[in-house]
Structure formats: C-alpha cells, structure tokens
Amino acid sequence: MPGPGFRRGDRVALRPVEREDVVFLRRWWNAPAVRRRLPASRPVDEAAAEERFEEWLSDEAMPTFLVTPAADDDRLGFCHLFDVGDDNGRAKVSAWLKPDAQGRGYGVAAVRQLVAYAFEERRLERLSAGVLADNDAARATLEAAGFRQEGRQRGHSFVESERVDRVLYGLLREEWEG
Amino acid sequence: MPGPVFLEGERICLHTIDRDDLPFLQRWHNDPGVRAGVTLADPRNERQQEEWYESLDDDSIGLLVCPREDVSGLRDVTAVGGDGAEDLAPVGYISLFRVDATHGNAELYCWMVPDAREKGYATDATRTMLRYAFEERRLHKVVCRALETNEASIGVFENLGLVREGRQRDEKYVGGKYVDVFRYAMLADEWDDGTAGAGGNGGN
C-alpha cells in the first residue's frame, strides 16, 4: 500500500517512505549504476536498510520522500533534505532516480518539489548540493531547478580507481523563482 | 532469495544477504565439505547464524554468489524488473574481511557449494571482489589464504595472478592433523582490471 501523498506537482509527487519501500530503496542503493553516482561503495543488506529506515523516523533533520509519478504510485526514486539547520536556515539536498526513470524530466520535477518544500514549508533560506563532476545529468537537473555552481572540490571522491572532482551548488531563497 | 545485486561479474553477480538467506548460509557453514576448505570447526545454530548476520559491520563485507543466469539458463538477473531477485538460488559466499583502511589491506575468502564448483564461478567472484577492493575501496593489498591441500582455491589464486607470499607452517588443524596454509596476495598496482587469467579454466 502506498503512503499518502505529501506534495503533488504536475509531473511527480513526493510521499513519505513506508516500510514496504525499503526493498525498492535497497535494490538501488546497491546497484552499481546508481551508487556509482552518489558515490556509495558499501553494500546495504536487509538489516542495514531497516536500520536506516528506523533512523529516519526519529531524525527531524532528514525529511525523506519517495518520488512517484503525479498520476500513480510507481516508485521512481528517492529524495531528501539532510543536515537541516534551523538556526542558520539551511539544508542539503539529495536525490536519485532508478535508471529507467532518468532522462524524462522526473528529476527536475522532484528537485523542484523538494526546493519548494524547503522554502515554503520549512522556512529555510539556503539549500546546497554536491555532485560528482562527471555526473552531467545531475548537474543539469540542479541547474534547471535554479541551483548555481559555487565551488569545486578537487579529487573529492575515489570512483573506479580515479579521483573525481565534486562540484558544489547552492540556491538561495531570495533568488528562487517559486 | 538473495538481496539486490551489489557487484556484477561476467558470469555471476554478488548480492547482499537477506534474512531469508540465513538458512542457506547456516546449512553450508555446517557442511563438512564446505567448512573444511574455510577451516570452520564450530557448529553454528540458527540463533548463532542470526547473530553473525546482525554483527556484520564496516570491517567485513559478505555477499552471496549467484550465477547471472537463473536455473532455466534464460534470464539475466540484472535485468529482472522487480525489486529483488526473488527466485534466485545462491551458489556460494564471498567475503572481504579484516578491512584495515589505515594500512590499506584486507583479506578475502570464498566458498562454493559442491554442485557449483569447477564452473569458474569462484574465479569470477574473486576477480569481482578484487575489483571492488581496489577500484572502489582504494585498498592497496588483498590477501587470500588456502590450505596447502586445497588445490581448487590455489588454482583460483594463481589463475588471477596473485603472488604466493609464504607458507604458514602447521597453521590449521584439519582432519586430525596440522596443515600448512599458503598465503597469496595481490597489490593494487598488480590489479589488471580482471583481465589476468581470463583464458584460464576457472579452477574452483
């Protein structure tokens, strides 16, 4: 049974993550095609995935959402804020889609929903994100959602035997065209 | 019913472990023909197998070896549309353990159920885990050990180009007598993207 909708746009909806979704998350957390981009290099077994899920339930600094099409409950991906700091009014953004849901505009739509949630519902004033420099799709998604490049961490991650730069993006409430 | 694919080899995939897989692991951890090779001498009951699963941490990774094609020989598991690999049967286990990030080394061991031996699965699984160790985990050295009498494992190590570093005299007590252990290892700069030994017969 899908969880109730939380935010619904024209293209995608964000809804709370339910226990039944953990199988979906676990599949893609482990899949080389998805985790290489994060990057994440450790396996997540059933027990570890359940532990993550339980931790979210009590972590107000990390609101998590399942991404579905606006019209039905297909599981497309996962997005969340993390390191939400209310005093400074900022948070970080993370999102991924399963491979066959990529390249169809779902990512931009999901990030836009997440940004609107952060600014309009959580009263945040700054969002940031970091992506591997060679992840052109994620960079285009962030830029389409209004993020601007702010920096580059050289040789940040070790991916497939090579050090890969990480590009930092930021978006301020005042420059956001909600 | 193994969990999702974590690493892809040529002919096998390495899957995460679900609770449903614990009976498989328990069965073979207790089986004389499997545990002799990995020198496990303690019986393991259901509770102990669960405790083992819960205790897995960052210093030790364990994955199930599954052929990429299921028993019908028709389906590539990486292409399965569902959320898992519900009807796949694991044929072995592989572990990267004693991961020491400070010194950049780890140990690797693998076992295959008797029916799945001599098909090249162990070689492919070991190669896949070596790739992970060097290309994802940034390790410098991976150590593999085998009883002197374990020709299948020694064949896998040599097939993949690991270097024999030493003989540990009377290291294990197996079948009523002390047995020497061969220690093999590969260094990161010896790793050749798995092409080493590609023409071999697969060993174990």
- CB-nearest to B63 from A41, A43, A158 is A43
8 Å CB contact of A26 and B56: no
Mean pLDDT, chain A, rounded, equals 94
pLDDT score, position B85: 52
What is the rounded distance in angstroms from the CA atom of residue B26 to the CA atom of residue B108? Answer: 20
**CB within 8 Å: A31 and B16:** no
Whether A107 has a pLDDT exceeding 90, the answer reads yes
Report CB contact under 8 Å: A30, B6.
Answer: yes
**pLDDT score recorded for residue B203:** 40
Residue from the list A28, A45, A161 with its beta carbon closest to the beta carbon of B3: A45
A137 touches chain B (CB under 8 A): no
The DSSP-derived string for B103-159 is TTEEEEEEEE-GGGTTSSHHHHHHHHHHHIIIIIS--SEEEEEEETT-HHHHHHHHH
pLDDT in tens, A115-169: 999 999 999 999 999 999 999 999 999 999 999 999 999 999 999 999 999 999 9
Angstroms from A132 CA to nearest CA on chain B: 15
Give the nearest partner residue to A30 out of B4, B53, B138, using CB atoms. Answer: B4
Spatial separation of the C-alpha atoms in residues A137 and A140, rounded to whole Å: 5
Q: Cα B57 to the chain's mean position, in Å?
A: 17
Q: Which residues of B touch A24 (CB under 8 A)?
A: 83
Among B19-28, B47-56, B81-90, B192-201, the least confident range: B192-201
pLDDT of residue B74 exceeding 60: no
Q: What is the Cα–Cα distance from B105 to B99, expressed in whole angstroms?
A: 6
Whole-number pLDDT of residue A5: 84
DSSP B54-117: HH--TT-EEEEEEESB-TTS--BGGG--SSS-TT----EEEEEEEEETTTTEEEEEEEE-GGGT
* Digit-coded pLDDT (tens) for B11-27: 999 999 999 999 999 99
Going by pLDDT thresholds of 50, 70 and 90, the confidence category of residue B55 is: confident
Give CA–CA dist A29/A129, Å, rounded.
19
The whole-number pLDDT of residue A171 equals 98
Do the strands B61-67 and B92-100 form a parallel or antiparallel pair, or are they unpaired? antiparallel
pLDDT (tens digit, 9 = 90+) per residue, A38-85? Answer: 999 999 999 999 999 999 988 889 999 999 999 998 999 999 999 999
Averaged pLDDT, B80-88: 52
Please report the pLDDT score of residue B202 as a whole number. 39
pLDDT, position A132 = 97
- Which one of A17, A35, A45, A50 makes the best mutation probe of the B interface by having the most chain B beta carbons within 10 Å? A45
Q: What is the pLDDT of residue B36?
A: 83
- pLDDT value at residue A65: 95
Q: Give pLDDT tens digits for B106-149.
A: 999 999 999 999 999 999 999 999 999 999 999 999 999 999 99
Could you say which residues from 37 to 66 on chain A have a Cβ atom under 8 Å away from some Cβ of chain B? 41-47
- Min Cα distance B103 → chain A (Å) is 17
The CA distance from B88 to the nearest CA of chain A, in Å, is: 15
Q: Which residue of B has its CA nearest to A30?
A: B6
Residue B153 to residue B109: CA distance in whole angstroms: 9
**DSSP strand pairing (B177-187 vs B141-147):** antiparallel
